[in-house]
Amino acid sequence: MRHFLVRHGVFIKTNRDVLKIMNTIIISMIPFVILKLIVVRNVIGFLMCLIFPFIFEGILNILKKNKRNIKYYFLDSYTLFGSFILYLFVEGSNYIAILIGSVMISLLKVVLENNKKININPYLWGLVFITFFNKIEYIDTNIYIIISVLISIIVFIYLSIKRYIKVSIMLTYITSLFIIYLIIFLLNDLDIKMTLLSLFNNGLLILGIYLASYSRSTPLTRLGQVIYGNILAILTVVFSYLTSFNYVIISIALISLLTEVIDKFTVNIYGNKRLRKITIFGIYMAVILTGIIMGI
Amino acid sequence: MVTISDNKVNSSKKIVKWDKPEIVYIPLEDNRGNCYRPLVKKGDYVYKEDIVGVCDEYDFPICSSVSGYVSDFFDKKIGTGKLVKCLGIENDFKEKYKVKSGYRKNMSSFSKDEFVQMLRLNGIVGLSGNGFMSYLKYKHDIKYLVVNGAECEPYISCDNAIMYQHAEDLLEGIDAICEIMGLEKAYIAIKSNNLKIINMFLKYINSYPNIKVYPVFDYYPVGWEKNIVKDIFNIDYDKYSIEKGIVVSNVSTIYAIYEMLKYNKSLTERVITICGDGIKNPCNVNVKIGDVVSNVINNIGGYKKNTNNHLLITNGPLNGISHSNDDIVVTKDLTGIVVMENIDEKVYPCIKCGKCIKVCPAKIMPVTIMNNLNNSKMLKHLDCDKCISCGLCSYICPSHIEIKEFVKKAKERVK
């Protein structure tokens, strides 16, 4: 008789683990970082964004008495994701914003880490915190906007094929935004090209891919993701009329607060096909109605 | 659709026969919890295929797989990990039958009722791992037979081996069942990438106009009865496929029925897969019900030298469980043994990716069930009892959380 180890559960697992997903997402950000480096040419800002989050997270972990080795910080702390997000959306020369952003992201990350009840996206709220003294925008030079849009589309397709992001969110978000802008522009006899341009302002696509579709702060079910994407589109349009800057990030922050409610709602109507259909119909009606109201 | 690399033993590798156990332990309880009343006592002589126990609830027998003397009653572990009472029979290696009726030329010379009775008396159960008594399925009015050859559990390949090596026998058996039961059509569902097996059937299928080979996509768990029926007929059903006049039997079961019709054999042996990186000679083995796993493995070549960090898993790495030793009795529901290295995966917090919900074949919400484990009302609402324990949620989870275990707990709580 031979003895063996015993454990529960399944004995083979997918190799697409959290680490691989996050590393792929971080790698997918590199073209955007390079493009910004070419456009802005501010190496100091880039280095600050790269180093500060690591330093602050390290300090906070020491204060929290989290025993983690150096390897952890570089391999699976995803601090680099925060660094890239900061660099992409904070003005390169606004060093105070970089500093405060780094502190906020690290603080939220370390404090809320492993918290099952509060699913807050630290990168998103770190950016929200600095919206008061910084314009959240990727790049604003026309020719580079087109390049960034092309990169965004390629990255989106790549991550969607790999199933590393919640595709339904981005698809509903972009579709609903397009519908709303189309109605607005049709009602006001404006050029249709403007509709498309409105979609690509303020780094909307990049924010959509990396922050609006961020797993932890988005709904679990496909229905929830459709609701989330549609409400996000409505909020984006409404806020774009109130303020010309930072409306995308504010909309994403607001909708992320509703994630738990959306999840609860979808769980409650689980198994009820009729209510599901009514919900989808209702949410798309709200999208159309928003377009009409905003257009008038 | 999730495709899992299956690491199966080559189906063309000859099925090894191991039929010389010194003692067999006939389990007096099956994986479904049905208990069998012993009909023999210590010291009695039993012939091969003699009825040695009966399940009173279903009037369903269990037969001896060897001839010899009853030595005693033992408590032995079966594939589900449960310790059950077993009847020990010392093999006299004479393979003596009380009545040996031999080979039958016309397999379809029975009425439906006679056939159903034969299934019962010969102890035929579903050999896919569920152990459901076959006569309970076949006694209904059915129109179609689906032979489930879409073996989707990774590593397990006993059905593939039977299909490849006994294609003609299987077709003969299916044809006989169709004739006896008056079925309109029979489908053999095979994974579309198993071209070798499909071609093997196509070689002989022209003689059987009412049998159709039906290639299905390779995804996990394509072998689940509901998925097979959905793929072939595009219909859903509530609990059993019988509701729609469809009976689904897996390849091993059909082969057991073929042997019953052709050779008047009771279900006393089956083919199991023994594989994994801890096994010297991975293969499919024809073993006697009641043999012990350690005995079978030692007789097909044994283990590799170092298995200190290995797991011994019954019924496959996604559906099965691991055992502390190889003193496990071969039962009718045992499909295979996998001895593989234990890889301790780091568990991360849930990232709410929702993949488990997306892939769940039972259309339930595993992660929500996990998060509501203490809320019985919610667990009922979330239909956690619909879980088929396929393990896909745990497999797909990028955080390596054992969601299946949480759903299992939830199921128990709802009960």
Q: pLDDT digits over A226-266, tens only?
A: 999 999 999 998 988 887 778 888 899 999 999 999 999 99
* Cβ neighbours of A5 in B, within 8 Å: 309-311, 322, 342
ipTM of the complex: 0.88
Residue B86: the pLDDT is 95
Residue A63: the pLDDT is 83
Res. B104: pLDDT tops 80: no
Residue A204: the pLDDT is 82
For residue range B393-414, what is the model confidence (pLDDT) as tens digits?
A: 999 999 999 999 999 999 998 8
* Cβ neighbours of B324 in A, within 8 Å: 3-4, 6
Q: What is the mean pLDDT of the segment spanning B228-247?
A: 91
For residue range A196-219, what is the model confidence (pLDDT) as tens digits?
A: 676 666 678 888 888 888 888 899
Residues sharing a CB contact under 8 Å with residue A159, sequence separation 6 or more, in sequence order: A24, A25, A28, A165, A209
Distance from CA of B218 to the nearest CA of A (A): 17
A4: nearest CB among B322, B350, B398: B322
Res. B127: pLDDT tops 70: yes
Residue A202: the pLDDT is 63
Greater confidence (B306 vs B257) lies with B257
Distance from CA of A10 to the nearest CA of B (A): 5
The residue of chain B with its CA nearest to that of A113 is B349
Using an 8 Å Cβ cutoff, are A122 and A81 in contact? no
Cα atoms in the 13 Å half-sphere on the side-chain side of A241:
14
Concatenating the DSSP letter of every residue in B386-413 gives G-----HHHHH-TT---HHHHHHHHHHH
Res. B266: pLDDT tops 80: yes
Greater confidence (A95 vs B93) lies with B93
b/e map B346-355, b = 16+ CB within 10 Å: eebebbbbbb
Q: What is the mean pLDDT of chain B?
A: 92
Q: How many CB atoms lie within 10 A of CB B14?
A: 10
Greater confidence (B306 vs B65) lies with B65
- pLDDT-derived band at A41, boundaries 50, 70, 90: confident
**pTM for this predicted structure:** 0.90
Chain A interface test: which of B76, B309, B359, B365 (most A C-beta within 10 Å)? B365
For residue range B343-368, what is the model confidence (pLDDT) as tens digits?
A: 888 888 888 899 999 999 999 999 99
Residue A270: the pLDDT is 85
For residue range B163-199, what is the model confidence (pLDDT) as tens digits?
A: 999 999 999 999 999 999 999 999 999 999 999 999 9
Region of poorest pLDDT, from A97-106, B56-65, B144-153, B398-407: A97-106
Residue A112: the pLDDT is 78
Interchain pair B310, A4: CB under 8 A: yes
Residue by residue, what is the 3-state secondary structure of chain A? Answer: CCECECCCCCCCCCCCCHHHHHHHHHHHHHHHHHHHHHHHCCHHHHHHHHHHHHHHHHHHHHHCCCCCCHHHHHHCCCHHHHHHHHHHHCCCCCHHHHHHHHHHHHHHHHHHCCCCCCCCCHHHHHHHHHHHCCCCCCCCCHHHHHHHHHHHHHHHHHHHHHCCCCHHHHHHHHHHHHHHHHHHHHHCCCCHHHHHHHHCHHHHHHHHHHHHCCHHHCCCCHHHHHHHHHHHHHHHHHHHHHCCCCHHHHHHHHHHHCHHHHHHHHHHCCCCHHHHHHHHHHHHHHHHHHHHHHHC
Question: Under an 8 Å CB criterion, which residues of A touch B?
Answer: 1-14, 16-21, 113-114, 116, 119, 163, 166, 215-222, 225, 263, 267-268, 270-271
* Cβ neighbours of A216 in B, within 8 Å: 351-352
Distance from CA of A256 to the nearest CA of B (A): 13
